[in-house]
Amino acid sequence: MRPLYFAPPRSTPGMTQAPPSKVFIKTFGCQMNEYDSSKMVDVLKAARGYERTLDIDDADLVLLNTCSVREKASEKVFSDLGRLKAWKAAKPGRLVGVGGCVASQEGDAIAKRATAVDLVFGPQTLHRLPELIDQTRATLRPAVDVRFPEIEKFDRLPEPRAEGPTAFVSIMEGCSKYCTFCIVPYTRGEEISRPLDDVLAEVDSLLGQGVREITLLGQNVNAYNGVMADGSHCDLALLLHILARFDGLGRVRYTTSHPAHFNDALIDAFASIPKLDNQLHLPVQSGSDRILAMMKRGYTQADYLRKIFRLRKVRPNISLSTDLIVGFPSETDEDFEQTMALIEAARFDAAYSFIYSPRPGTPAANLRDGVPLDVKQARLERVQARIREFGEQFAARLVGTVQSVLVTGPSRKGGSQLTGKTPCNRSINFDGPAHDAARLVGQFVDVQVTASMANSLRGEIVTADARGLLPLL
């Protein structure tokens, strides 16, 4: 069998080298999918010399990295595939691939329904892209691999490549919670944690390339249980303490958490690890105990709030975001009011909120949905309006404070304007040194917040002796 990675043939004098093939990737969904798309690029570049392009007409390969979480996800993918027929026919040799969760869910049915498709692969088989390309070119038939080969993907990925001062590191795959509304366990498989040494090696490599902030990823990241060299296991709290000792690492984040696994050790980590981001995304889904039981979430409203109140004791000004589903089958007015009560108590300053829609293959898809659409829409508007108010209040409290900002690049406003992230993961724009603003990219600087806008903050760089005079939010 041909190895996954091999050296390209050497050119000889007088021989014209063909330009590299190019890949265009359209990514749907979560940060895990964004991470997977970046790894697809790494695999294709290492194995076949592909370069990523943002111009689809310049591409030789188009990949749709799909997500099953949104409503009518499959229909949207097939709509895109229909439009790709003309693109593929315009130039011989072009290929079309479908990856991600819809690929796992639909399998070879995608290729049967959409004749433009050449490759179908799941989140756990993206490392086989070069082999699948070879297979479809050799057989002139679609190549399909949507298996769950456990941790094999990480063993066969190229060395990580940094693209700026921030990076994602996936520490586990899959989910074993089987919430009744969620398709993820069926499309990404059971929870599998990467060995601790593998995670640390990837982080160390990224830090050596100038990365200053790491975001740890997993469908249920706080259930991480990586094997250590001595055969014992490392949980997420211990991993955070280990990473905090890395000199080059300025800040660490993690997402997405499940409340059932958000334990005292993780709360204590917020108290004892200054490098841990001052923001937490903790999806609650509903405030009704009855609905939470129907969703099979494994906690009550009181359980959730106890954890939030304890967290706020150790980090009073932490930014807290969540996921909320309104209109779950049989949700009553009382159920919904319990969700509003939870929002009031938790004071979320951001949320991903949606009207429930059934996912084929999930238990909840079989439930009778008797909640009228206009009622669902009215409930969603109330949720979003209240959380927007809390978000505006949170941002307003930042005005006048000094934040340690990781400068991530030039602002879209141009000139010497820079942009970066505060410890609570808010974007902030500010003027850099007029003569050499670019030198600050990848560094932490003290910035005083001067204004809060709808989606970002404004600020001014302050002198070093201002550090610590104002509270960290």
Question: What does the pLDDT look like over 159-191, one tens digit per residue?
Answer: 888 889 999 999 998 899 999 999 889 888 889
Task: Give the pLDDT band of residue 464 (cuts 50, 70, 90).
Answer: very low
471 vs 109, which has greater pLDDT?
109
Whether omega before 256 lies within 30 degrees of 0, making that bond cis, reads yes
Pairing mode of beta strands 22-27, 61-66: parallel
Would you state the structure tokens that stand for residue 82, as one six-digit string?
């229909």
Task: Report the candidate in 69, 71, 98, 70 with the shortest Cα–Cα distance to residue 84.
Answer: 98
The model's pLDDT over 10-38, given as tens digits with 9 standing for 90+, comes to 444 444 456 789 999 999 877 888 889 99
Q: Measured between alpha carbons, how far is residue 282 from residues 32, 66, 197, 356, 442 in Å?
A: 16, 23, 27, 18, 28
Q: What is the CA radius of gyration of the chain?
A: 24
Q: Which range, of 89-93, 275-279, 301-305, 433-437, averages the lowest pLDDT? A: 433-437
> Which amino acid, residue 75?
E
Please compute the mean of the pLDDT values over residues 267-293 and round it to a whole number.
98
> Which amino acid, residue 6?
F
Checking if the pLDDT of 468 tops 50, the result is no
Pairing mode of beta strands 192-193, 172-173: antiparallel
pTM of the model: 0.86
Q: Which range, of 292-306, 330-344, 397-411, 436-450, averages the lowest pLDDT? A: 436-450
Sheet containing strand 166-170, edge to edge, reads 166-170, 213-217, 251-255
Checking if the pLDDT of 207 tops 80, the result is yes
Tokens 């009031």, residue located:
344
Q: How far apart are CA 223 and CA 42, in angstroms?
A: 27
Q: How far apart are CA 334 and CA 325, in angstroms?
A: 15
Pairing mode of beta strands 444-452, 402-410: antiparallel
- DSSP letter for 268, please: H
The model's pLDDT over 83-129, given as tens digits with 9 standing for 90+, comes to 999 999 999 999 999 999 889 888 889 999 999 999 999 988 999 99
